[in-house]
Amino acid sequence: MSFEAGEEARALDHARARRRALLLLVLAVVCFGTLWPVSKIALRDATPIWFAAARAGLGVATSLALLAAFGRLRLPRRADLPIVISIGVLQLTSFFAFMNLGLRYVPAGRSSVLAYTTTLWLVPLALLTGERIGRLRAIGVIVGLAGVALLCNPLAIDWTSGEILGGNACLLLAALSWALAIFHARRHAWQRSPLELLPWQFLIASVLLALLAAVAEPAGGIGHYRGTLLALFYVGIVAGPLATWAATSVARALPTITTSLGFLAAPVLGMLLSTLWLGEPLTSGLLAGAALILSGLVLVALGSARG
């Protein structure tokens, strides 16, 4: 093969890989965006922690099957145990629990926006390590937090309702939990790939959530209605492990700024679907708050890309 033919073949392979990565990005965004209204529907019948435990349990089975099919099912190495525990406890156990507790009282569209403030919390966490965050990232955090304040001000939500205030607080705690897991993941020296560790992280989450559900929701459960079970199937199999696999593949194949900005479409899709499927109002306050939060996330992403 001539040099020119070899270069042409490599360029073609690169273009195919990029198209595949973009398709996986779309898949992940659709899965993560639909997760919110689907979970909201399920929580009409299921209790929050039991639903989270069932979702994690399905995640274990699906991720084990997925890795076995790829021939990549392996036990984690000792050096990876800290990240297995960290993500299992923070990104899965805490995020799932806080997400569902918040969704029980907060509209799905608003929930999707508040939970995606994760990137904002990474900036002050970076300050703890002495990292210089730069002007653009600092402005992004200020703009994003202004959006959070707009969504949570007394004119936007009923501050006399402990359930509503608690629900919004749970969603922000879910975002913080995820941010702490990402903060650790970025500094961990991975021995196995994130995908190969996924079933063991789900296993930790399923055990912890089942124990928590038994204590906090002794009379709870996931219900028996067809819609709830279908929602659990979708959330636990499609929008969980499969979407995580897609997101992991995308992160390796596309530039960080592309993936960071691409995933911002997920909360936008969550808002739109919540309006179309659930009839939730798309108010001017929600749109303004969401616009500020998403603008802040864009600025943080751009600032991170500049180093």
In the chain, how long is the greatest CA-to-CA distance? 74
Boundaries of domain holding 298: 45-305
Burial of 22 (0-12, 13-18, 19+ CB in 10 A): middle
**CA-wise closest residue to 53 among 96, 105, 86:** 96
User: Does the residue 169 lie in any domain?
Assistant: yes
Q: Tell how far CA 30 is from the center of its chain.
A: 12
Task: Look at residue 233 in the predicted model and tell me its pLDDT.
Answer: 93
Give the pLDDT score at 6: 52
Nearest to 236 by CA among 51, 7, 87: 51
The reported pLDDT for the residue numbered 134 is 83
Burial readout 33-47 (b: 16 or more C-beta within 10 A, e: otherwise): bbbbbbbbbbbebbb
In 3D space, the residue among 230, 291, 247, 207 whose CA is nearest the CA of residue 39 turns out to be 230
In a domain, 40, yes or no: no
Q: Which amino acid is at 178?
A: W
Domain count, the chain: 1
Tell me if 27 is assigned to some domain: no
Looking at residue 15, its pLDDT comes to 65
Evaluate whether residue 29 is within a structural domain: no
Q: Residues 28, 89: contact at Cβ < 8 Å?
A: no
32 within some domain: no
Establish if 211 belongs to a structural domain. yes
Query: Can you tell me the distance from the alpha carbon of 259 to that of 268, in angstroms, rounded to the nearest whole number?
Result: 15
| SS3 state of residue 8 | helix
pTM: 0.90
Is residue 119 in a domain? yes
CB-count exposure of residue 80 (10 Å: 0-12, 13-18, 19+) = buried
User: How many alpha carbons lie under 13 Å from residue 67 in its C-beta half-sphere?
Assistant: 21
- Flag residues of the chain having pLDDT under 70: 1-15, 251-252, 256, 306-307
Does residue 9 fall inside a structural domain? no
CA distance 300 to 303: 5
